[in-house]
């Protein structure tokens, strides 16, 4: 019997940049009638705020303090994306390439991570049914989730998808910086390239978007059968 309809359901999804975590997790959350948490948006919002305040990104202590002080709010409605910091709507701004190029400095700050992990765990605990995605959800934020999935795709597929997503505005070198160089830097503090024990892998390289959603739903169904 599957526990998919249970009142309490936590789904953890990790993977590299451009693998489809955000778009697929959002669609899966809608299908499951669950909340959706984009943890990467939290790292992005802090990066936006630190840059806007003129805090030196290279000053690890100042960045960690900025995270602890941050008045950060994030919607968990999969149909209403909203990220606010200090009451300012930064939903669109945090997707700008300049944020993608600098966010790893926040993501590799261990004190900043500890504070964001704490906040993410609070949000997950406050929502009965939730799909949370990022880089360390299956291993650090929600290691006891009902289903834990690593969503992967080849480098070629991820670069192609990100290029299309950005409407062809970025050249190959810019895409490589935003996708591959970022992953390389982020990988120094978290492992999102190999599935930890008990984590199921879904490789979307040869799947279209709808097939990937179905593959993730199948993996969740398998994990929650007991
Ligand atoms: N299986 C798929 N086939 C084709 N396109 C896909 C597939 N999965 C996702 N996409 C598209 O790829 C793009 C990147 O996906 P998405 O933003 O969800 O990736 P991500 O893993 O969350 O990336 P990041 O971690 O950098 O934010 C989106 O435009 C999305 O619609
Ligand atoms: N749980 C997480 C989520 C995200 N990050 C880092 C990795 C990225 O460089 C950045 C933005 O994430 P994205 O919006 O591209 O998914 O945040 C992380 O370290 N841990």
Work out the average pLDDT over 110-120. 98
Work out the average pLDDT over 188-210. 97
Copy the structure tokens of residue 126: 């406050």
62, 111 in Cβ contact below 8 A?
no
pLDDT band, very low/low/confident/very high, at 5 (cuts 50, 70, 90): confident
| Residue of the CA atom closest to atom 19 of ligand 2 | 107
Q: 40 in ligand 2 pocket by Cβ < 6 Å?
A: yes
pLDDT band, very low/low/confident/very high, at 135 (cuts 50, 70, 90): very high
Of 161, 157, 145, 156, the closest CA to residue 196 belongs to 145
Annotation-wise, does 21 bind a ligand?
A: yes
Q: Which atom of ligand 2 is nearest to the CA of 44?
A: 11
Where does ligand 1 bind, in terms of residues with CB under 6 Å? 15, 17-24, 40, 161-162, 165, 204, 207-209, 212
Q: Per-residue pLDDT for 226 more than 80?
A: no
More confident residue, 123 or 101: 123
**Ligand 2 center to 221 CA (angstroms):** 26
| Residue of the CA atom closest to atom 7 of ligand 1 | 209
Annotation-wise, does 18 bind a ligand?
A: yes
Work out the average pLDDT over 123-132. 98
Annotation-wise, does 40 bind a ligand?
A: no
> What pLDDT, on the 0 to 100 scale, is given for residue 2?
59
Mean pLDDT over all residues of the chain? 95
ipTM for the assembly? 0.98
> What pLDDT, on the 0 to 100 scale, is given for residue 3?
60
Q: Can you give the C-alpha Rg of the chain in angstroms? A: 17
Q: Per-residue pLDDT for 122 more than 90?
A: yes
Classify strands 129-134 and 35-38 as parallel, antiparallel or unpaired: parallel
| Cβ neighbourhood burial of 13 (10 Å; 0-12, 13-18, 19+) | buried
> What pLDDT, on the 0 to 100 scale, is given for residue 224?
95
Q: Read off the pLDDT of residues 8-44 as tens digits, 9 standing for 90 and up.
A: 999 999 999 999 999 999 999 999 999 999 999 999 9
Q: Which atom of ligand 2 is nearest to the CA of 185?
A: 9
Give the residue, out of 16, 47, 106, 107, with the most ligand 2 atoms within 8 A of its beta carbon, to mutate for a pocket test.
107
| Residue of the CA atom closest to atom 8 of ligand 1 | 20
Q: Per-residue pLDDT for 7 more than 80?
A: yes
> What pLDDT, on the 0 to 100 scale, is given for residue 69?
97
């Amino acid at each position: 019997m599957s526990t998919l309809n249970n009142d309490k359901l936590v789904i953890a999804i990790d993977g590299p940049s451009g693998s489809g975590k955000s778009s697929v997790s959002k669609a899966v959350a809608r299908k499951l009638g669950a909340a959706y948490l984009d943890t990467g948006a939290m790292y992005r919002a802090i990066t936006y705020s630190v840059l806007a305040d003129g805090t030196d990104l290279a000053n690890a202590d100042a960045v960690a303090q900025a995270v602890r002080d941050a008045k950060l709010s994030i919607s968990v409605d999969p149909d209403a994306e909203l990220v606010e910091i200090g009451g300012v709507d930064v939903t669109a701004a945090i997707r700008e390439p300049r944020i993608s190029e600098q966010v790893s400095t926040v993501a590799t700050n261990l004190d900043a991570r500890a504070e964001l992990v704490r906040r993410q765990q609070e949000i997950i605990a406050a929502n009965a049914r939730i799909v949370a995605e990022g880089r360390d959800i299956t291993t650090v934020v929600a290691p006891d989730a009902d289903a834990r999935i690593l969503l992967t795709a080849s480098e070629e597929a991820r670069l192609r998808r990100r290029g299309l997503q950005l409407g062809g505005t970025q050249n190959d070198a810019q895409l490589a910086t935003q996708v591959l160089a970022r992953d390389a830097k982020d990988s120094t503090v978290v492992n999102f390239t190999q599935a930890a024990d008990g984590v199921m892998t879904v490789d979307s390289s040869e799947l279209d978007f709808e097939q990937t959603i179905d593959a993730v739903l199948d993996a969740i169904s398998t994990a929650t059968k007991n």
